[in-house]
Amino acid sequence: MAKIYEALNWASSFLMKNGREQHAAELLLRHYTGMDRAALFASFHAGLPDETMQSFQEGIALHVKGMPVQYIIGSEEFYGRTFQVNEHVLIPRPETEELVFEAIKRIGSLFNQEDVLEVVDAGTGTGAIAITIKLELPALNVTASDISVAALNVAKNNARNLGADLQFIHGDLLKPFIEAGQKFDVILSNPPYIPLRDIDGMSEVVKDHEPHLALFAGDDGLDIYRRFMAELPLVVKDKALIGFEIGAGQSDDVAALLKKTFPDADVDVVYDINRKDRIVFAYIS
């Protein structure tokens, strides 16, 4: 029977030799043992049951072949909460936490606290944005939409597990709301924004496993933003906040699209912790 530290050392070395992050070893071992980080390191010299070691080895092998750790363990942390993930949804990223944080800050400063605001997260995926916004600001009426039924099912499960009361709508971007005549105070989205031309340079962990529907958006990565510009004027209230996550280097283009669509809007760009342009907001008043 291998000791926990021996299993961890083997996995870390194996991952490094195969060009994968060594930290995945700890994440996977914690998953298969059911231990948190403190318990795992406190049990360093304990034996690892053979069946647990076998599962751990299989998980390491899957990751070496390219499967994201989050899909293997079935979850990812976002804004201090655990979200279930599978191959039908994009894995939540720290950059998107910044979109949520900045949106919450702006909602608090731009709108009257007594107003009941209507919020939509278009292209919700795991539901990370919509669920987090609702749990952080429970007074909001939050709707989450996605073109993928499979993704919506993941988001619904996450909302149920985390105790968030949302509305879920199946549809393509904002079309279901246009058809229903529904308008919103806040529209948020982390849409696909990777240019198709970048696919060859991407890690196979991303391009071969995460849903392309949630990743790629035409030759320049701006196709979905252009579609938003045609639909947004039909669903925003007279006073509204629009917030997009963007790819690094896209802020000028997305800001210009918003300015053209809403000439009187205040448009600003937010840079992430890596000093890359990552979020664009437009405030209409």
Name the binding residues for S-adenosyl-L-methionine.
123-127, 146, 190
With beta carbons less than 8 A apart as the criterion, state whether 4 and 25 touch: no
Bridge partners of 186, per DSSP, are 119, 241
Annotated binding site for substrate: 190-193
Q: Which two tokens stand for residue 25?
A: 């070893």
Residues 6+ apart with CB under 8 A from 267: 255, 258, 259, 280, 281, 282, 283
Tokens of 108: 């608090």
CA diameter of the chain? 68
DSSP annotation string for 252-274: HHHHHHHHHHSTT-EEEEEE-TT
Distance of alpha carbon 37 from alpha carbon 120, whole angstroms: 36
Q: Which residues are annotated as a binding site?
A: 123-127, 146, 190-193
